[in-house]
Amino acid sequence: MLTPAVASYVAVRRAAGYVFKSEDSLLRSFATFSEARGERFVRASVAIEWAGLARSVSHRARRLGMVIRFVRYIRAEDGRHELPAAVFGAEKQPRPVPYILSDDAIQQLIHAAAQSGYRTLRRDTYSTLFALLACTGLRVSEALHLRFEDVGPDGLVIRQTKFRKTRLVPLHDTARAGLARYLERRRPYAPFDDHVFVSLRRKPLLLHDVETAFQTAVSQLELPRGTGRARPTPHSLRHAFAVRSLRTCPDGRDNITQHMVALSTYLGHCKVADTYWYLEAVPELMQSVADQCERFVTGG
């Protein structure tokens, strides 16, 4: 039966360190779907039919991709399982073009947040949050999960993040001073909550609150649309940090390799390839890549 095979496969993947929460649910759904049709083995036609129940092509591709990986696992013991073809295309879609904020735009954005709304803690909260995102490259969720104990003399401790990793993010003296000023005002405002960033409700900030405040500040600046009609979002501050860091990368293969590995670790990327993706973000970096390639080809 397929259900026990799915349970075995999920157990192996989790033992290897994968969370496998949504995958577990979907593969169990596939097993039930197949067994309802009297199938004891994976049939390519049934797998494609089940995956095709998803509304979007990308979701169909993802569902079928899960079945394909599952079949590769169980075929090692029983070749009667059929391996479906990836008829819905690639699972991973091209990453959207990022909106890269200039240094001037970031300063204006922080200033706009500091002047937005009533003269309450809200101004300090969002101006400090946006400044912290810009100078550290943190994910928004990482900043919202910060607790008092995570702010130390060596920097910020980012605990159990997107890939269940914990890392230390150093802070520049100016960033540490700005965060200290904010905390001095914030602590008495919500003394029974230890989240660094809180709302006027005296509760932890929600992602929706951050996005609303960010777009309010952006609307005041009337920033132009980016390449491919990209628009600025709170995550644009992380993009800007990564690009700014790459622009300062020293020449030389060894220096570039060390710089990329360090930046990948700093940003909390699971794969260094995710960091190299930023080389495509702005024309200046692409031009630098082209120049380096030309010098390599010509023997320079």
Residue 162 among the catalytic residues: yes
Residue (of 155, 159, 106, 99) closest to 129 by Cα position: 106
Given 62, 238, 239, 244, the catalytic residue: 238
Residue 32 φ then ψ, to 5°: -65, -40
Torsion sign across C-alpha atoms 190, 195, 198, 202? negative
Biggest CA pair distance of the chain: 69
> Which residue in the list 62, 63, 139, 145 is annotated as catalytic?
139
What would the two tokens of residue 36 be?
């309802």
Residues 80, 40: Cα–Cα separation, whole Å: 10
The verdict on whether 119 is a catalytic residue reads: no
Q: Which two tokens stand for residue 45?
A: 């036609």
122 flagged as catalytic: no
Catalytic pick from 37, 40, 69, 162?
Answer: 162
Please check whether residue 280 is in contact with residue 286, taking contact to mean a CB–CB distance below 8 angstroms.
yes
Tokens of 178: 């700005």
Q: Quick check: is 92 catalytic?
A: no
Catalytic residue among 195, 235, 259, 276: 235
Which residues are known to be catalytic?
139, 162, 235, 238, 269, 278
